[in-house]
């Protein structure tokens, strides 16, 4: 009985899980809250913020144009469409991340991202919102990373756009989206 030597090679292989979200396309939109307040960019303490206010006439040029990146999710959800919301002409995207010292409370901020379409899985989650079309032709934007939290505006003018829980009755979470440039 002779023993034959068997050679083998060790291969280190890591498999990343397939992305749950796949990029589809980007379209430009104007987004206003249900009271028709416009979203505008303002500098505040050295940071760029999104603020909701009423604009008219020549001031409408200040209204932010939003690049809405559509994604296909697995599994597909009939009534919810994952989207990213970026500022047209800039590398700034709305993101929903935990508030400092409060992991269960999210904050909405503008984050600079050079290649949003290159992000996958957990790296993409803070930038994704479920866009849901309601029967009244209004749209809501729910955080994918923080289910039950929605992009919202204050009843008052000149207030920051922020994240609020679904049961909040004080803030507006319904928006109207206009495709293209008005």
DSSP codes, 46-65: TEEEEEEE---GGGGGGBPE
Per-residue pLDDT of the chain (182 residues; tens, 9 = 90+): 566 666 555 555 555 555 689 999 999 999 999 999 999 999 888 888 999 999 999 999 999 999 999 999 888 888 899 999 999 999 999 999 998 888 889 999 999 999 999 998 889 999 999 999 987 789 999 999 999 999 999 999 999 999 999 999 999 999 999 987 64
Number of Cβ atoms within 10 Å of the Cβ of 132: 15
Those residues whose C-beta lies under 8 Å from the C-beta of residue 153, and which sit 6 or more positions away, are: 33, 37, 52, 159, 161, 162, 171, 172
d(CA 21, CA 144) in angstroms, rounded, equals 11
pTM here? 0.86
**Domain-by-domain residue ranges, the chain?**
21-179
Fold exhibited by the domain 21-179: Trefoil (Acidic Fibroblast Growth Factor, subunit A) (2.80.10)
Given a contact cutoff of 8 angstroms between Cβ atoms, the answer to whether 26 and 89 are in contact is no
Extract the tokens encoding 63: 């209204």
């Amino acid at each position: 009985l002779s023993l034959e030597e068997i050679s083998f090679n060790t291969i280190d292989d890591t498999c990343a899980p397939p992305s749950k979200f796949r990029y589809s396309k980007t379209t430009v939109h104007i987004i206003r809250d249900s009271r028709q307040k416009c979203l505008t960019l303002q500098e505040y303490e050295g940071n760029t913020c999104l603020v909701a206010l009423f604009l008219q006439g020549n001031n409408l040029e200040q209204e932010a144009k939003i690049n809405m990146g559509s994604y296909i999710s697995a599994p597909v959800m009939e009534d919810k469409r994952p989207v990213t919301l970026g500022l047209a002409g800039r590398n700034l995207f709305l993101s929903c991340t935990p508030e400092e010292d409060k992991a269960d409370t999210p904050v909405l901020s503008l984050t600079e991202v050079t290649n949003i379409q290159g992000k996958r899985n957990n790296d993409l989650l803070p930038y994704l919102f479920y866009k849901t079309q309601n029967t009244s032709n209004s749209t809501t934007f729910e955080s994918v990373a923080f289910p039950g939290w929605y992009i919202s505006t204050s009843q008052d003018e000149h207030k920051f756009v922020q994240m609020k829980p679904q049961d909040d009755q004080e803030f507006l979470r319904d928006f109207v989206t206009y495709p293209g440039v008005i």
